[in-house]
């Protein structure tokens, strides 16, 4: 079949009386302006060509259509005609049947385009969905109106509200597609179109009477859901589909889309979406860098973290050797993994056979030499430099040449660890976050001697096991934990100055943090940070203010939930925090000793001091080159530290406030609280230059 180019991204041809409209906008055939122009022009040709009795729309490459070109949102290209809704209206008005032949994916606007066609067919493994809610949006070209008319309100709401995807087989069962096909989508689409003698009455325009409790569905949306605003709007749009004629419903849906796309929540979620994809790109990595495939992994240590890491590899189908020093510790670790898998199976997310398959990929051993054939070995032992050095000396002796040796350290120097081996180029930090089998963030810590191949190989492996890798350089605490230091500093200063732990925690959770800092400390264990503070005590400037509240709490053996008491007290077998007068007295005594006069504090001051402490330290980290990009810092905090995604991360939040306003507030805090609040020089330079974004540095 010969084709002609109708736009930069759409080709047109005919075959046996069927017109073929081919989307050709790699990598995902996104519905940018040129695609919309091309499809509209193709439909005009279909209408005019007397030799054509039907048409098929298909996608070139790996899929049908991945949706709108998100990068064009909030730009003139997004609103340049024809809009997607206008293109779909052309399809619906066509006197000749139009078939969507779906392979790969039909997501967001791609599925809306297909919903406008008279017929839809899909491969069995195609993935179909209206995923706009993940970007803080609702469909804007009829998805919430046409989908329930095809599959019913309950099924449509489950798909739209949560951005879920279904396979081609499932789509056929729902009535979303007419049939499942194998092979070439153009051939299948052409055959299906040729069989359609006339356009059937468009069933997507009618809606059967429906009773559904939309209010309950709206009320069930969690206040901390990353896309709560969009989820509620999705429910509103589906409700409109049951109460309004199609044209009025389309108008209502588009108004909600326009409202959301212009709002800060969607802009923040789109920022995070692109930031995650950018974070995996290493700016100075040579294009010809070799990558080692991880066929066999090994994990040293079967504790909570080591077991979670082993599960992450097993979940990706990668065999892993799990080492412990004694049988009791190994059995305890295996029991914990089995328990975690059983919980997942009980929720219907795994079958019993899948649990056995994954447990079977984890080979247990008490002999470190069993790690000899591993391509990647991850140390997950106690956070002590001497212990880690001993492990790496032993690994250096037993592991094969070219094996990557990684430390799961959360803040220790990878360079110092690498120095005890004969292969520092193969040593790297892989800082997983607990629970490691669930949390997506992975700080990939690049040492001074880490080779490009080691770095690229670990980034690739991280993506393979479903992690969001962020490349960072070596410093105390890397990006995430280094920024926690001033965050927790302010949270504890605020206690001395008059706040209670619960006031601080509640103010920050209302801001959107997943947990307050004192809740987090109790969950993680106060003894961990206490050990770090004692290790770093000799380097702490004596003239700077230091809060002794957490040290005094630890001195009483209160290490958080695991001891039943920390900043809060806990009932036996419960994780519910209760205010404790003992802590109130510790705080008051520390304030008296420090000469701090206590006062009433507002939630706004609590939030400002804690969040701007993150921003100021993030700007310093960026200037030092510890992180490649400001957006990488946002990925760390959204993916690993519970920062609200709908605020985009601490650096994006500062840009939303305005860098000039951010600097003004930090300077005001510096005036009151002194040297701890010295503004980051990078922030000062950017504001002086009139910059509005960190990425301009």
Instruction: Write the DSSP string, 205-274.
Output: G--------HHHHHHTS-TT-TTHHHHHHHHHHHHHHHHS-HHHHHHHHHHHHHHHHTSHHHHHHHHHHH
Instruction: State how far the Cα of 366 lies from the Cα of 359, in Å rounded to an integer.
Output: 17
**Catalytic hit among 92, 132, 239, 324:** 132
Antiparallel, parallel or unpaired: β 54-59 and 98-102: parallel
State whether the Cα torsion 99-101-106-109 is positive or negative: negative
CB atoms within 10 A of CB 594: 15
CA 618-619-624 angle, to 5 degrees, is: 95
Number of H helices and E strands in the chain, helices first, is 29, 18
Which element (helix H / strand E) includes 34? helix 33-48
Instruction: State how far the Cα of 610 lies from the Cα of 43, in Å rounded to an integer.
Output: 56
Antiparallel, parallel or unpaired: β 441-446 and 427-432: antiparallel
Instruction: State how far the Cα of 33 lies from the Cα of 77, in Å rounded to an integer.
Output: 6
Contact of 361 with 314, CB cutoff 8 Å:
yes
Please, is 82 exposed, middle or buried when counting C-beta atoms within 10 Å of its C-beta (0-12, 13-18, 19+)?
A: middle
**Catalytic hit among 112, 608, 617, 655:** 112
Cα torsion for 302, 306, 311, 316, to the nearest 10°? -130
Q: At what angle are helices 501-511 and 480-497 packed, to 10 degrees?
A: 130
Instruction: Write the DSSP string, 547-559.
Output: --HHHHHHHTT--
Please, is 48 exposed, middle or buried when counting C-beta atoms within 10 Å of its C-beta (0-12, 13-18, 19+)?
A: exposed
| 217: nearest Cα among 280, 157, 307 | 157
Instruction: State how far the Cα of 664 lies from the Cα of 662, in Å rounded to an integer.
Output: 5
Strand runs labelled E in 70-197: 98-102, 105-107, 119-123, 127-129, 165-167, 179-181
> Is position 276 annotated as part of the catalytic site?
no
Question: Residue 180: CA atoms inside 13 Å, Cβ hemisphere, count?
Answer: 15
> Is position 593 annotated as part of the catalytic site?
no
* Catalytic positions: 112, 132
């Amino acid at each position: 079949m010969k084709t002609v180019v109708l736009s930069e991204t759409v080709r047109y041809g005919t075959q046996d009386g069927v017109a073929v409209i081919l989307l050709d906008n790699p990598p995902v055939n996104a519905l940018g302006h040129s695609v919309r122009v091309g499809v509209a022009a193709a439909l005009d040709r279909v209408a005019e060509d007397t030799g054509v009795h039907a048409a098929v729309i298909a996608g070139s490459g790996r899929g049908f259509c991945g949706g709108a070109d998100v990068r064009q949102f909030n730009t003139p290209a997004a609103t340049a005609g024809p809009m997607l809704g206008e293109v779909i209206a052309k399809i619906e008005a066509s006197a000749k049947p139009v078939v969507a032949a779906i392979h790969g994916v039909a997501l967001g606007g791609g599925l809306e385009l297909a919903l406008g066609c008279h017929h839809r067919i899909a491969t069995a493994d195609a993935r179909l969905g209206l995923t706009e809610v993940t970007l803080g949006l609702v469909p804007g070209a009829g998805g919430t109106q046409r989908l329930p008319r095809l599959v019913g309100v309950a099924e449509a709401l489950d798909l739209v509200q949560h951005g879920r995807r279904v396979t081609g087989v499932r789509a056929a069962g729902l009535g979303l597609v007419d049939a499942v096909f194998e092979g070439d989508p153009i051939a299948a689409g052409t055959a299906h179109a040729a069989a359609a003698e006339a356009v059937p009455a468009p069933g997507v325009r009618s809606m059967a009477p429906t009773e559904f409790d939309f209010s309950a569905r709206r009320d069930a949306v969690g206040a901390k859901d990353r896309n709560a605003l969009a989820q509620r709007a999705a429910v509103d749009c589906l409700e409109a589909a049951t109460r309004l004629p199609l044209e009025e419903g389309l108008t209502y849906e588009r108004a909600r889309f326009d409202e959301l796309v212009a709002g800060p929540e969607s802009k923040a979620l789109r920022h995070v979406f692109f930031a995650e994809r950018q974070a995996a790109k290493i700016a100075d990595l040579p294009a010809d860098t070799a990558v080692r495939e991880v066929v066999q992994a090994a994990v040293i240590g079967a504790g909570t973290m080591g077991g979670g890491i082993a599960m992450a590899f097993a979940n990706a189908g990668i065999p892993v050797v799990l080492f412990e020093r004694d049988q009791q510790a190994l059995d305890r670790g295996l029991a914990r993994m089995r328990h975690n898998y059983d919980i997942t199976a009980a929720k219907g997310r795994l079958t019993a056979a899948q649990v056995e398959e994954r447990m079977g990929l984890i080979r247990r051993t008490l002999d470190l030499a069993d790690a000899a054939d591993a391509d990647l070995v991850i140390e997950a032992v106690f956070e002590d430099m001497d212990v880690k050095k001993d492990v790496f000396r032993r690994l250096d002796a037993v592991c094969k040449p070219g094996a990557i040796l990684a430390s799961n350290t959360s803040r220790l120097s990878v360079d110092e660890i690498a120095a005890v081996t004969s292969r520092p180029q193969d040593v790297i930090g892989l800082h997983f976050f607990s629970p490691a089998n669930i949390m997506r963030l992975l700080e990939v810590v690049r040492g001074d001697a880490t080779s490009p191949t080691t770095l690229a190989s670990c980034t690739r492996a991280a993506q393979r096991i479903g992690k969001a890798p962020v490349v960072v350089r070596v410093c105390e605490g890397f990006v995430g934990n280094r920024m926690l230091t001033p965050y927790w500093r302010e949270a504890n200063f605020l206690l001395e100055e008059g706040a209670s732990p619960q006031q601080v925690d509640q103010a920050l959770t209302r801001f959107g943090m997943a947990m307050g800092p004192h809740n987090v400390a109790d969950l993680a264990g106060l003894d961990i940070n206490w050990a770090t503070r004692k290790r770093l005590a000799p380097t702490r400037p004596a003239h700077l203010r230091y809060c002794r509240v957490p040290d005094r709490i630890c001195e009483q053996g209160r290490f958080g939930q695991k001891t039943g008491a920390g900043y809060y007290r806990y009932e036996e077998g419960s994780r519910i925090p209760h205010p404790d007068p003992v802590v109130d007295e510790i705080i008051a005594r520390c304030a008296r000793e420090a000469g701090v006069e206590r006062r009433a504090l507002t939630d706004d001051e609590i939030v400002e001091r804690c969040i701007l402490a993150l921003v100021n330290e993030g700007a310093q980290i960026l200037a030092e080159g510890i992180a490649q990009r400001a957006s990488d810092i946002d990925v760390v905090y959204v993916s690993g530290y519970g920062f609200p995604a709908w605020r985009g991360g601490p650096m994006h939040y500062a840009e939303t406030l305005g860098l000039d306003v951010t600097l003004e507030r930090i300077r005001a805090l510096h005036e009151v609280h002194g040297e701890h609040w010295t503004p980051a020089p990078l922030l000062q330079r950017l504001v002086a230059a009139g910059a509005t974004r960190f990425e301009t540095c």
